[in-house]
Every structure is written in structure tokens, then in C-alpha cells.
Amino acid sequence: MAIDFVKVFDKFNSLNILIIGDVMIDAYWWGGVNRISPEAPVPVCAVNDKESRLGGAANVALNIAAMGANPILCSVVGEDYQGHQLCELMKKQNMDTNGIVFSSNRPTTVKTRIIGNKTQMLRIDEETDANISLSEEKIFLDKIESIINTEKINAIIFQDYDKGVITEGVITKIIEIAKRKNIPVTVDPKKRNFTAYKNVDLFKPNLKELKEGLKIDFDNVDKDVLVEASLLLHYKQKIDKVFITLSERGVFMMDFTKKEAEITMLPACLRKISDVSGAGDTVISLATLCLALGLDSQTIANVSNFAGGLVCESVGVVPIDKNKLLFELLK
């Protein structure tokens, strides 16, 4: 049966999506390079513009908002200038900052890209990857639980960047609450907490994360290998839908909620690739929105695959364009 994407996209407007994860500021310093430094054999970039954007889990929130849904972002940031700047950036996007907890024990993550003559020359990272303290974890969990109890939440996303905001304690407690309230949970994992995500509805590693998380290695990315890895995740971690992104090879999904496991494998959408940054954020956002509406696995994979391809046409980390995505799907 054909999917009416116009109706589906309209239904996105009624969804509240809770996003839990590591937020960051993606900073860009733009400039020109026309000489080498006399101090060392390095290019001199004369900066003429600076820009700060929401990144990490905050970029997932931007994607959710871009699709018309309401993102509720929960994270821990530093009690520093950048932490307050991040909240100001959220407010400019009409996002509620109620889910943000300030910590005096850690800096806000900032990734600064120096771009000279339209080429990225250097990236400077200011961050910690230490776990939040037990006292901060309790404050954070209380905040999230309060939001879940007072808002109608249609789905929860764990957007994990291994920066320490998501701990095993946070994962276990929130999944337990979600199961009790029948709220679907999706995960974009990283290495540290990979095996801690159990009993989730959709789990979206990329190939690198899959290999690191399961401690397996393979060169040929074929259907059989992906099926074997998915079975391992299903039986070890009780995951309903394993959704693996394969970069230029497309996407793979194995759905274990059916009587017989359903496999979907789609090639990548042919695009003029400018920048793959943030594509994973877009994919988990669209997959979660589609899952929250109860759409089938093939549709979830298809819509997410199209969306991930579209954002790769833009330079830097940018959210999806709802109208452009709808146009592509209707084609």
C-alpha cells in the first residue's frame, strides 16, 4: 500500500520527542589564506566571520523541530559562557531549555572548525569525556523523569557521543520508565555504552560503531554479515529493530517484531556529497518520528535514508529541509 507522505508529514506536527544526550556547540571560523607564517611552516588564516551552531544531540533536536515536531532536549552542560551560549542558541530556535542541567565540574563541549579558502584547515575540540558525577546523574534523572511525567512524550532518543552525559544509570532508569509508559526508545550509540542499551525499540549504529561495539571485524559488507550482527544484537540486548547505516552503501534494517524477521536493505540515494557531518543525527531523527507514528520498517528505512542523503549536500552540520524531503519522497 502506497504511503501518503503529505499526511505523514502533517502528523509529525503533533509529536513530542524527548532527546537525551551530549550537546555541543559547532563553531565555524571562516577566513582567507594567502601566506605562510614566519613563525612556523603553517598557513595564516585571516578570520573574517564566526558562527556558532547547535551540535551533537542539539542537532537532533533541530532536525526534529525542522520536521514540525516538538523537541524536548535533556543534557548536562558546563556552568560557563559556552553553556549559556548554547541555551541562548536553543531559545533562538524556540526550544525549551528546561531539560538542560548546568555543572560546575565540566566544560561545555565546543568543536571549532577553522576554514580558510573554503577548506577546513583545523578543528579544535574543547571537552571532557568523563561521566557526570553520581550527584549530577541524580539531578539529571529527576529532571528527565519530571518531564516524562508532565508532558505527553511520543518517543525518546538517546543521542550518545561518549562525552559522559549518558551513563549506564541514566540508560537503565529511562528505559525502565519508557517501558512502563509504553514510550518507544531509539538509540544512536557510541562505543562506551554500546552494550548497555537493552530492550530498546530501534538501535542505529553505523558500521564503525557496530564493529567496535560488538568487537567484530569484517571487510565485505554483505547481507549475511549484517544479518548475523543483527541477530547478535537482538539476542544479546533484546533489540526490536536493528538499523545499520552503511555510508555510501545505504542502510540495512532487520525488524524482529514480526513473526518472521523482516529485512530491508536500501542503496544510498545518489547525491552530490559536500559534507557527511550530522547525517547520522538526521537519520535517527526521521527514524524516530516514523516509528512514533507506527510506520513499517521499510518506510522508516526509506525516509531516513533519503533524509540522510539530503543533508550531505550541505556544508557543515545542518538540519533537514522538510519541504525538500517531502518533494524527494513524492518523486
User: Under DSSP, is residue 201 helix (H, G, I), strand (E, B) or coil?
Assistant: coil
Cα(65)–Cα(283) distance, integer angstroms? 14
Select which of 162, 188, 281, 321 is catalytic: 281
Identify residue 313 by its one-letter amino acid code.
Answer: E
Task: Kindly compute the dihedral angle of the four CA atoms of residues 19, 20, 21, 25, in this order, to the nearest 10 degrees.
Answer: 50
| Nearest by Cα to 202 from 240, 249, 228 | 240
Q: How far is CA 153 from the centre of its chain?
A: 18
Kindly state the cell numbers that stand for 24: 555541543
Kindly state the cell numbers that stand for 315: 556544508
Cα(136)–Cα(145) distance, integer angstroms? 14
Q: Indicate if the alpha-carbon torsion angle 152, 63, 24, 166 is positive or negative.
A: positive
The answer to whether 142 is a known catalytic residue is no
Cα(233)–Cα(54) distance, integer angstroms? 31
Q: Which residues are catalytic?
A: 281
